[in-house]
Structure 1
Amino acid sequence: MARHWSETALETLDVLFWGMEVLRRPMGHPPFEAWQRRYGSLSAIARLERAHLLQREKHAKRLVYHVTDLGRLMSLGGRHPEQQWQRPWDGQWRMLIFDLPAGQKAVRGRLLRWLRRNGFGYLQDSVWIHPDPIPELADALREFRYDVESCTLLEAHCCAGYNNAALVSGAWKFELINKRYETLISQAEGLLRHLPAPSDRELLQQRLREQRRGWRNATEFDPFLPQTLHPRDYLGPRAWNIHREVMSRLATLLLASSSY
């Protein structure tokens, strides 16, 4: 999913996912066929197929497209919020303790970026935590095995007098995360009040791009912790609900734009 995708390919995937699958419309639905004939790029669809983001089947002499699991994940920004929040937690923290040789600043920077990107929480420079099981983390950390002098993975839980809420608050910057969600929510609410007309396809495309990028920016630092670990004022679910509504409305309007 790190490759560069054209806006045409991203729009095609968004229209299929948000405008059809999320609303439980069949992929052979006339609005999509009309949109594809008028605006869809065959090269973009072929590229999405080669990347296993789309899959096609033939039903009654008609091609029917399905968004694959990988395609759904891409349209969702790389992570599925509800699946992440609803995953069970066993009450154990996975604590990563590592030591880097002196002078390995570049490796340290790369490792710290990897840790943040993969939802680890910061306790100290060389001590990070994560709620998920050790085998998954151990497999992912193998790419750093030649650079890290020593690396230890521990399972731990809070002792008496301490609680998970305080640990979460200290390890992740939820104040920053919520500020980004507040920006997204405000922009999305404004957009829902002033949705472009189906005849204004260029503005619809622009709003779709802005919303897609806005969601990615808002979720950049969110670890998507299991629901039991959510801070009381966490805005993730609220932002997700309004983002989903905006994307579905915009995709539906883009499908309708083929009539103009």
Structure 2
Amino acid sequence: MQNSLNTRSMIFTLYGDYIRHYGSEIWIGSLIRFLEEFGHNEQAVRAAISRMSKQGWIESRKQGNKSYYFLTQRGQKRMDEAAKRIFKLQPEKWSGEWTMFTYTIPEEKRSIRDELRKELVWSGFGLLTNSFWISPGDQENQIQEVIEKYDIRSYVHYFTAQYKGPDESTRLVRECWNLEEINERYDEFIKKYSQKYVIDKNKIEKGEMTDGECFVERTKLVHEYRKFLFVDPGLPQELLPAEWLGDHAASLFSDYYKALAVPSNRFFESIYREGNELKKVSGYDVLNHPLMANNEQ
């Protein structure tokens, strides 16, 4: 039996890669059916959905005797942010400026410290010294959201600045992030999926892989790759080591995703339409997915 945390994580993957393109809403029966493909039972799905609702990621509505779950504004924003980072194939250009964020949270608000740290890590910040976080580039919007979410305006300061030494900016990177460890994780991803990609691509071309099997493999692929959002800060090219494997992993992910995209979407729609109105978000077509477009460049 899968635990609720794993089930919850898989539900996030389904919302991010599929459901958000269909109005961000799904009937609970369809969601249970999709999760069965990965060994998650109905009890685990309902427990995970309940937890996500309490955390403010989703809301529910009733239509007759059916319950539908849709992303809240907060949930939709997080999915859009995650998709933008997942499907980004190349690091962004760097202005040379750093965003610096520091806080002193009083004891009566100490319960939010762990959540605040998680939000900062998610947004690409690294801890330079105690309660002093840095990130290359402009992070003002992310900081303002964190300030408003946790009501900590009186306890924080943030700046934009250039590093003047005494060493290179790469020293700050080494002190804030373990790029060697992240690179090792990328290496594991590449070793695991390089062979799978070749095998599955050949199967698809020969008609030896069902739509359902493609759906499972694509979902597992995205589920695995999106874990890098929690460990890789998405540093600009100028701050990455010469032997960085993130670009190779992104290219492999793109190619594999593209090979699985069409048949997996067919399977998703075949199940989805059983309990939901098949209404795609205007303009959405898996063949016009940003990843596809980027992959053609």
Q: TM-score range by the shorter chain?
A: 0.5 to 0.7
In the alignment, which residue of structure 2 is the partner of 1:234? Answer: 244
| 206-215 or 171-180, which deviates more | 171-180
In the alignment, which residue of structure 1 is the partner of 2:166? Answer: 161
Write the distance in 2 (CA, Å) between the matches of 1:101 and 1:205.
Answer: 48
Question: Unpaired segments of 5 or more residues in structure 1?
Answer: 15-46, 52-69
**Does the 8 Å contact 2:116/2:146 carry over to 1?**
no
Query: How far has the Cα of 1:75 moved from its partner?
Result: 8.7
* 1:158-208 superposed Cα distances (whole Å, 9 cap, x missing partner): 234311111112112212321221121112112123214434313322211
In the alignment, which residue of structure 1 is the partner of 2:198? Answer: 193
* 1:84-122 superposed Cα distances (whole Å, 9 cap, x missing partner): x22x32212111111011253311111111101111011
In the alignment, which residue of structure 2 is the partner of 1:118? Answer: 123
- 1:102 maps to which of 91, 103, 107: 107
Distance 1:123 1:190, change over 3 A: same
**Does the 8 Å contact 1:94/1:134 carry over to 2?**
yes
Instruction: Compute the TM-score of the two structures, normalised by the length of structure 1.
Output: 0.64
Question: Unpaired segments of 5 or more residues in structure 2?
Answer: 1-8, 22-67, 72-76, 268-297
Distance 1:125 1:103, change over 3 A: farther
- 2:88 maps to which of 71, 78, 81: 81
| 243-252 or 111-120, which deviates more | 243-252
CA RMSD of aligned residues (A): 3.9
**Does the 8 Å contact 1:100/1:149 carry over to 2?**
no
Partner amino acid, structure 2, of 1:101 = P
* 1:214-246 superposed Cα distances (whole Å, 9 cap, x missing partner): 111234211112222222222111100000001
Distance 1:148 1:102, change over 3 A: farther
Distance 1:75 1:97, change over 3 A: closer
Partner amino acid, structure 2, of 1:218 = F
**Does the 8 Å contact 1:121/1:130 carry over to 2?**
yes
Query: How far has the Cα of 1:154 moved from its partner?
Result: 2.3
Identity of aligned residues (%): 20
**Does the 8 Å contact 2:101/2:132 carry over to 1?**
yes
- 2:223 maps to which of 213, 216, 230: 213
Distance 1:136 1:129, change over 3 A: same
**Does the 8 Å contact 1:181/1:239 carry over to 2?**
yes
Structure with the higher helix share, 1 or 2: 2
Query: How far has the Cα of 1:124 moved from its partner?
Result: 1.8
Instruction: Compute the TM-score of the two structures, normalised by the length of structure 2.
Output: 0.57
2:157 paired with 1:152? yes
In the alignment, which residue of structure 1 is the partner of 2:74? Answer: none
- 1:142 maps to which of 126, 138, 147: 147
| 171-180 or 135-144, which deviates more | 135-144
Distance 1:110 1:148, change over 3 A: farther
Distance 1:137 1:103, change over 3 A: same
Write the distance in 1 (CA, Å) between the matches of 2:15 and 2:162.
Answer: 48
Distance 1:143 1:11, change over 3 A: closer
**Does the 8 Å contact 1:101/1:149 carry over to 2?**
no
Distance 1:93 1:81, change over 3 A: same
* 1:106-147 superposed Cα distances (whole Å, 9 cap, x missing partner): 111111111011110111230000122364244223325634
2:189 paired with 1:184? yes
Partner amino acid, structure 2, of 1:159 = K
Distance 1:125 1:4, change over 3 A: same
**Does the 8 Å contact 2:100/2:159 carry over to 1?**
yes
Instruction: Report the secondary structure of 1:194's partner residue.
Output: helix
Partner amino acid, structure 1, of 2:88 = P
